[in-house]
Chain A
Amino acid sequence: MRPGGTGRKATSSLSIFESSVAFGLITSAVLAIASVGFTLQFAVTNVLNLAYGAVMIAAAFAAYAVNQAGVTIWVAALAAAAVGSVLSLFLNRVIYTPFQRRKTSPIALVIVALGMTLILEFGTQAIAGPTNVSYTMAQGPMLQVGGFALSAAEIAMIGLSLVIMAFVHVLIRYTRLGKAMRATAANRDLARNCGIRTDRVVTVTWIITGALCGIAGAVFGMNAGTFGATSTDVFLVLILAAVFLGGPGEPYGAMLGALVIGVATEVSAAFIVPDYKDVIAFVILLTMLAVRPTGLLGART
């Protein structure tokens, strides 16, 4: 499994920089999948689903179970996608929607989501056990890509992330469903007056973003090397930083935010103190909120 931020032998500050950027790109790739799913979910469903990280890790464990049965993790990730969808749909149907019907305030719904995080993490731990686990996977040969040394597995993670970004781009720009999602996100009543059955759009959005959440969980597990039921607690802060940096509800913003946060945290880990790298993400987020609250690409008024 890959070592920590500065683990690779570095003979000069330039190569430290290069290897930390390489790590950053891998983190960004994982973060991008998670953040795009999160921001799309938030935009369309209007729920700030802070249980997202807990769903990610539950899905990562589902992939682990399939992986343990002898299936390569790249295929087992599909199980993570399925579990991510099912759990997200469950959260929507059984928890969030009933509360929304009772006109629960958005802030109270955030508290509900935090509670669901604990319940899901506890449930994952009850099923999977308290010890951390690792996927059985080959890292493959180290390859030189544009000056960076990356393993074949790491390159595959970045490739998967790029494929998913392209999928999201095509979905929201060119498909009827994607346009209905954007309309629902922008103005739900007006979308309904266009004849769009927004309840269905919202349901499908939970399914799609749940799958993204699940895949993000599996890739998170691959990148982390070893993970446990609460391993995404800090990662959720990185997701929120990427999402709010890009402008909440903005898929392209989340992609950009993930790139910035991923690289910034790893580079700062290499040059400052590795232990504080996640704090850097939060500092970037706070600065952004102070300077430009709508985020990099946010244009909402």
Chain B
Amino acid sequence: MRTAQEIGGAAAARTARGASLRTESLTAGYGGSPIVHEISISVAPGEVVSVVGPNGSGKSTLLKGIVGIVEVLSGSVHLDGADVTHRATEEIARLGVGYVPQVDDVFAPLTVAENLEMGGYLLKPKDVPARVEHVLDVFPQLRRMVSRRAGKLSGGERKMLAMGRVLMLEPALVVLDEPTANLAPQIAHTVLDEHVRRLALTGATVLIVEQRARAVLAISDRTYVLAGGRVRMEGTPAELSASSEFVESFLGGGQPAGG
């Protein structure tokens, strides 16, 4: 398994396209009472930052608040220093934010090729084929299934397509919501260790939510721990792995990962 240091080394080689992200005291929810409370996190350009925490702790809601799908009740979201709070999700996307939801992450009735084309909707039509080629170079396994309906792909293939779709616009920030949910352990590791790393190598900043804390720590520069809709801990993988509270609560004891 690769370590955080290797990813950190890769960060140096990344192009400088990654955007910075910062939330300030972000409170968000679905119209009723807030789900996440006063969340302040920051992600530096080119960083891979993860958010871990138990089921129902508000990880998905936090991401939806950042990309503008869920209502921000108070606080703010800043992209490269600019306040993007309350902007429509399509306008945030136009600023270079790619978002891979936990479920419904592809256009199921559309083919793989069409999914990628949709990802390149904002590109000049004549630039789309070359960009599709580029994405297929990043995820070569997709190449032999370009004309298959996305809904028919396996879980791992589908995640690759979802990430490839996002890559079409050369995103400055990629927001991933539990890319390994419902995947077999072996495939989950491939997704985290290979696919997410390939995303990061494009230079994009990556904010990733995961339940597989140990595995995601290994590819993270820094990690936030969410519980009950609030940030409970934060730190580098080494720092968190050295915390007995973190190890016992979130890694289920055993050997710390990535440190």
Contact = CB atoms under 8 A, between A and B. Distances in A.
Contact of B109 (A180, A195, A196, A300): A300
**Chain A contact surface mostly:** helix
Residue of A189, A300, A301 with highest tally of chain B CB at under 10 A: A189
B89 A196 contact: no
B79 to A, nearest CB: 14
Interface in B105-129: 105-110, 114, 117-119, 121-122, 125
A198 B68 CA distance: 14
B57 to A, nearest CB: 21
Contacts of B93: 192-195
Contact of A189 (B89, B98, B108, B166): B89
Interface string A163-191: 00000000000001001101100110111
B118 to A, nearest CB: 5
Nearest to B99: A193
Contacts of B105: 190
A132 B89 CA distance: 50
A183 B110 contact: yes
A195 B88 contact: no
Interface residues of B, number: 31
Given A196-B90, A197-B90, A299-B109, A189 B118 contact: no
A276 to B, nearest CB: 36
A301 to B, nearest CB: 6
Nearest to B69: A189
Using C-beta atoms within 8 Å of the partner chain, give the interface range for chain A.
20 to 34
Nearest to A197: B90
A218 B69 CA distance: 41
Interface of A: 103, 176, 179-180, 182-183, 186-187, 189-198, 299-301
Interface of B: 31, 67, 69, 88-90, 93-94, 97-99, 101, 104-110, 114, 117-119, 121-122, 125, 149, 151, 165-166, 169
